């Protein structure tokens, strides 16, 4: 095998050869923490909704708008999030998105009325978009293809942890306060993990693949060298020489072809248009059902419990 002379391609080969170590788990765990916080923030409305409905005298239409607000914001935010991550870097956009949605969640705890709460939840969804897509992008760019799918599953499991934690914490927190205070306190708790951005800023590395694509090869080299040093220390063995495989060449050439705004429009043209529409429709239907279950689940369970306590003659 001839030596690798193209430096960005060499960086990819060096990342690909890294074995799974405690460093890999620590890196993915940092990203999983962001997923847990986002899922908790998204699901926080579900446990306070039964309190808000009578407290603010919400109509079914208002409840539906409130439930959809952050999801609509998230969906809209997906459009610029990818461009921003390509322009300013994965780490910076992830931190910015978390500051955005967690900060607005803190502010929404002070919302004086339904309209203000609706706007704040909608705008907070814009910041959830980077936190939704950037962790997966970082795993795809920094974890070896041998274990990439497994660690992507770890991220998805982290979302589940966040959604499950919401009703559990709701059972602990909400009964301790009067209704007019309880929902504000819960949103305050949902926004407090904004402090996690310091952890990301301090310990999360930027993607060397992104740095190399933007011409910042010296920074990319420093990050990869630091990772290699940690991995060699953990394994107590030298790393093998990087090897360029056919898969790596295809990945590298694909990245170069995707640079530029014209490549973004290709999925909306034949022969990819049909596939794009099918996948978009499937994703929309799946997410719609999922978020209906997340948001309305606690309300339905509470209603079912109330009905079960009624005398049979009143049902």
| pLDDT of amino acid 74 | 85
Contact present, 43 and 298 (Cβ < 8 Å):
no
Q: Mean pLDDT, to the nearest integer, of 122-141?
A: 92
Q: Mean pLDDT, to the nearest integer, of 127-134?
A: 91
Q: pLDDT class for 309, splitting at 50, 70, 90? A: low
d(CA 90, CA 18) in angstroms, rounded, equals 21
Backbone Cα Rg of the chain: 23
- Answer with the residue of higher pLDDT: 282 or 117: 117
- Answer with the residue of higher pLDDT: 129 or 302: 129
* Region label for 40, one of left (φ > 0), alpha (ψ between -120 and 50) or beta (otherwise): alpha
How far is the first Cα of the chain from the last one, in angstroms, to the nearest whole number? Answer: 78
Angle of helix 22-55 versus helix 114-142 axis, rounded to 10: 170
d(CA 27, CA 15) in angstroms, rounded, equals 13
Cis? peptide before 271, omega within 30° of 0: yes
d(CA 246, CA 23) in angstroms, rounded, equals 27
Short-list 206, 178, 203, 229, CA closest to 14: 229
| pLDDT of amino acid 2 | 41
Q: What is the DSSP letter of 110?
A: T
Residue 297 structure tokens: 């689940």
Residue 5 has pLDDT above 50, yes or no: no
Domain ranges of the chain: 7-248, 258-315
What are 221-251's pLDDT values in tens digits? 999 999 999 999 999 988 888 877 666 666 6
Please name the CATH architecture into which domain 7-248 falls. Answer: Up-down Bundle (1.20)
Residue 270 structure tokens: 């034949």
What are 38-50's pLDDT values in tens digits? 999 988 988 899 8
Backbone phi, then psi, for 3, in 5-degree steps? Answer: -65, 150
Distances (CA, A) of 221 to 56, 70, 218, 254, 298: 56, 39, 5, 21, 49
What are 73-103's pLDDT values in tens digits? 888 888 788 889 999 999 999 999 999 999 9
Backbone phi, then psi, for 276, in 5-degree steps? Answer: -65, -45
d(CA 307, CA 301) in angstroms, rounded, equals 10
Short-list 179, 207, 163, CA closest to 57: 179
Residue 269 structure tokens: 């043209």
Distances (CA, A) of 25 to 88, 142, 151, 152, 188: 26, 12, 9, 12, 30
Percent of the chain having pLDDT more than 70?
Answer: 80
Short-list 66, 175, 211, CA closest to 125: 66
């Amino acid at each position: 095998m001839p030596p690798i002379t193209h430096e960005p391609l060499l960086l990819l080969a060096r990342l690909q050869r890294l074995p799974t170590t405690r460093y890999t788990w620590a890196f993915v765990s940092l990203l999983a923490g962001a997923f847990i916080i986002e899922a908790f923030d998204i699901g926080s409305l579900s446990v306070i909704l039964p309190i808000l409905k009578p407290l603010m005298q919400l109509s079914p239409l208002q409840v539906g708008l409130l439930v959809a607000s952050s999801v609509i914001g998230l969906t809209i935010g997906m459009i610029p999030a990818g461009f921003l991550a390509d322009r300013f870097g994965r780490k910076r956009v992830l931190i910015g998105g978390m500051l955005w949605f967690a900060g607005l969640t803190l502010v929404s705890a002070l919302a004086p009325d339904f309209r203000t709460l609706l706007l704040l939840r909608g705008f907070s969804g814009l910041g959830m978009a980077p936190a939704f897509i950037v962790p997966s992008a970082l795993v795809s760019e920094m974890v070896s293809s041998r274990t990439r799918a497994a660690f992507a599953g770890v991220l998805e499991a982290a979302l589940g942890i966040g959604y499950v934690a919401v009703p559990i914490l709701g059972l602990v927190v909400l009964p301790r306060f009067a209704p007019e205070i309880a929902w504000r306190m819960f949103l305050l708790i949902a926004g407090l993990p904004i402090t996690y951005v310091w952890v990301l800023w301090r310990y999360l590395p930027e993607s060397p693949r992104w740095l190399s694509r933007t011409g910042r090869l010296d920074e990319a080299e420093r990050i990869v060298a630091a990772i290699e040093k940690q991995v060699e220390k953990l394994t107590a063995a030298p790393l093998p020489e990087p090897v360029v495989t056919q898969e790596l060449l295809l990945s590298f050439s694909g990245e170069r072809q995707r640079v530029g705004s014209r490549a973004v429009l290709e999925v909306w043209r034949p022969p990819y248009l049909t596939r794009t529409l099918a996948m978009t429709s499937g994703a929309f239907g799946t997410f719609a059902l999922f978020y209906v279950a997340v948001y309305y689940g606690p309300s339905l369970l509470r209603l079912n419990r109330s009905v079960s306590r009624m005398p049979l003659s009143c049902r």
